[in-house]
Chains A and B, each alone.
Chain A
């Protein structure tokens, strides 16, 4: 089946994926009615690998991550699909069992470290919590582990700062603390939702380096949610490009970026100012992404697409194999592949 993206994307790598997302759908209740924010999203990721979920604001990438982590806002709910961790569908687990997976199974790093940390609890107490709860360590032993963890993520003088509060740390250090919290129990899957977006460039590079080290060290499967194509190019093995709630293209990053086989991916790549000569116009994508309640019929991208034809308004394109280990959801991917 075409929608079973994971089996094909994975071709070439060995071993079974640790996380498989299969046909995930998320609905949101709005005053104007229920809208589908994530539709038929499928992908998989293996231990020690990085998969990037790439897309612009509102494309559903964060909502996909929240659904996987079980952290959806109360107005949103999973409307279908499976999320299998080591073969077990975690969406159907009872809450108590699912909570046990938070930390050793699956863990998340948020974008905004100041709101993600508890402002009235010392960082030591927050970092000790996973060890207290999951490993039933004593207060003293857990605190010792917290200090080790702070040291591991590069916080200077951890022993003297373990009693400090989040606001006493800089933005980069707070992001390190958040990462420490997320990797404390060596999760099998780590979701990182725009982990460096709020940070300065030189600090951003430090944080990405840390994530990369930890991924290799702990053999974690990393799912990196980002809007930044350059971050994807540098950090990820595979990429899933999302638009209006759907995955429109997946494959190895090098293949997808060198030869995009969906007009949206190509448009994004053309919008990057990097090497375009100064003054030369960027080939931007006309228009803006659709609102969730007004997604066009057929292909959601067709209203902004130069290659769209009649069939695009009538039939929603499914993900089909468009090359070795890659999938594209475009009726006209072959025309893109030609030039």
Chain B
């Protein structure tokens, strides 16, 4: 089957991936709207692998399922089908203390640093709060020193420790959110649009911080973003999602420079680029229409209604995610993938 076609898309050198998600499907039941349908398939047979110290970029437009996928990774949603393996173990099968231990290892940094921090706690209490649940991690008398260490690690000053979130700037708040995630010494941090609420100059500071922390701590990132230039900068590999499916995955440079799925190509070409040399504008693929409702996705290939290469078979057969011969790590789910360098 299709899932079997892609084991070669492994993360790094290690055999057991840190995180291995395969064939995950998640359906939500929603109130019947105008379409008369109430089953929303947010994820449909999604595969994902993440290695130690690696950054996987997840890109896609609203409603593609990237945030649902993040919630599955955080064990906030249980998938209907498919498996999630964390170092070979199914976290959803764990109970009690073991579950608690596993939860510690996947943490999250949220998009909105204004809404994701408790306004009634000061910085040091926010960073230390996770230890109230995970009591054994840091001995009580060590905690003060450890908080100071974490604040320093994310570039906050000691004098910021007693300040409240509303007294901090957007960039400082995001640093605080990162310190809180680091407090539990996680192996994976899911970053959901971590810099999109920040100004450009501050965004660069936070991106530098994330890169720096990865080098020092070896933490892996699942990096969700709609900003392709940011993903290109931080991610080792990237998966492109469309209406609940991964349509293309591979090493970042491969996917960006030689997209094989028409949707990826359109997405890349749609993003405005900063070309300071004042060169000619690139050929832009302007897609028609908008993403169809996930309540009523098209049959066969879900992208076919907006695809300029679609043929009859696309309406009938769901294209499997397959790699091409010469690039085994680069897979695309398309019956008519784009060949090599298109229009340089």
A interface residue numbers (CB < 8 A to B): 56-57, 156, 170, 172-173, 200-206, 208-209, 227-231, 233-235, 254, 257-258, 267-274, 276, 278-279, 281-286, 288-289
Q: How far is the CA of A172 from the CA of B286 in the complex (A)?
A: 14
A-B contact pairs, 6 of them (CB 8 A): A206-B286, A227-B200, A233-B272, A274-B233, A278-B233, A278-B253
Choose from B274, B281, B291 the contact partner of A229 (Cβ within 8 Å): B274
Nearest A residue to B63, CB-CB: A200
Are A257 and B232 touching (Cβ within 8 A)? Answer: no
Are B200 and A229 touching (Cβ within 8 A)? Answer: yes
Distance of A55 from chain B, by nearest CB (Å): 9
Are B230 and A233 touching (Cβ within 8 A)? Answer: no
B199 lies within 8 A of chain A by Cβ? yes
Known contacts A205-B286, A278-B234: A284-B274 contact under CB 8 Å: no
Distance of B70 from chain A, by nearest CB (Å): 18
B67 lies within 8 A of chain A by Cβ? no
B61 lies within 8 A of chain A by Cβ? yes
Known contacts A203-B290, A205-B284, A281-B211: A230-B272 contact under CB 8 Å: yes
Please name 14 further chain A to chain B contacts, defined as beta carbons within 8 Å, in addition to the given A278-B252, A282-B233, sorted by A numbering. Answer: A57-B199, A170-B290, A200-B61, A201-B61, A203-B61, A208-B272, A227-B199, A234-B281, A269-B276, A273-B232, A281-B208, A284-B202, A284-B208, A288-B171
Q: How far is the CA of A234 from the CA of B273 in the complex (A)?
A: 7
Known contacts A230-B272, A273-B229: A202-B278 contact under CB 8 Å: no
Residues of chain B with a CB closer than 8 A to A288's CB: 169-172, 199, 201-202
Distance of A138 from chain B, by nearest CB (Å): 32
Q: How far is the CA of A278 from the CA of B214 in the complex (A)?
A: 13
Residues of chain A with a CB closer than 8 A to B281's CB: 234
By Cβ-Cβ distance, the 10 closest A-B pairs, closest first, are A284-B204, A273-B233, A230-B272, A271-B204, A200-B61, A205-B270, A56-B199, A285-B201, A254-B278, A282-B204
Are B274 and A202 touching (Cβ within 8 A)? Answer: no
Are A234 and B272 touching (Cβ within 8 A)? Answer: yes
Q: How far is the CA of A285 from the CA of B205 in the complex (A)?
A: 8
B205-230: CB near A (< 8 Å → 1, else 0) gives: 10110011000000000000010111
Are A273 and B204 touching (Cβ within 8 A)? Answer: yes
Q: How far is the CA of A205 from the CA of B277 in the complex (A)?
A: 21
Residues of chain A with a CB closer than 8 A to B289's CB: 156
Known contacts A172-B290, A233-B276: A201-B204 contact under CB 8 Å: no
Residues of chain B with a CB closer than 8 A to A281's CB: 208, 211-212
Q: Determine which residue in A201, A204, A206, A258 has the highest number of CB atoms from chain B within 10 A of its CB, and name it.
A: A201
B275 lies within 8 A of chain A by Cβ? yes
Residues of chain B with a CB closer than 8 A to A206's CB: 286-287
Residues of chain B with a CB closer than 8 A to A203's CB: 61, 290
Q: Determine which residue in A172, A230, A269 has the highest number of CB atoms from chain B within 10 A of its CB, and name it.
A: A230
Nearest A residue to B270, CB-CB: A205
Are B200 and A272 touching (Cβ within 8 A)? Answer: yes
Choose from B169, B170, B201, B290 the contact partner of A267 (Cβ within 8 Å): B201
Q: How far is the CA of A281 from the CA of B229 in the complex (A)?
A: 14
Q: Determine which residue in B230, B271, B276, B281 has the highest number of CB atoms from chain A within 10 A of its CB, and name it.
A: B276
Are B201 and A271 touching (Cβ within 8 A)? Answer: yes
Q: How far is the CA of A254 from the CA of B287 in the complex (A)?
A: 28
Nearest B residue to A234, CB-CB: B272
B62 lies within 8 A of chain A by Cβ? yes
Residues of chain B with a CB closer than 8 A to A234's CB: 272-273, 281
Distance of A195 from chain B, by nearest CB (Å): 13
Q: Determine which residue in B229, B269, B274 has the highest number of CB atoms from chain A within 10 A of its CB, and name it.
A: B274
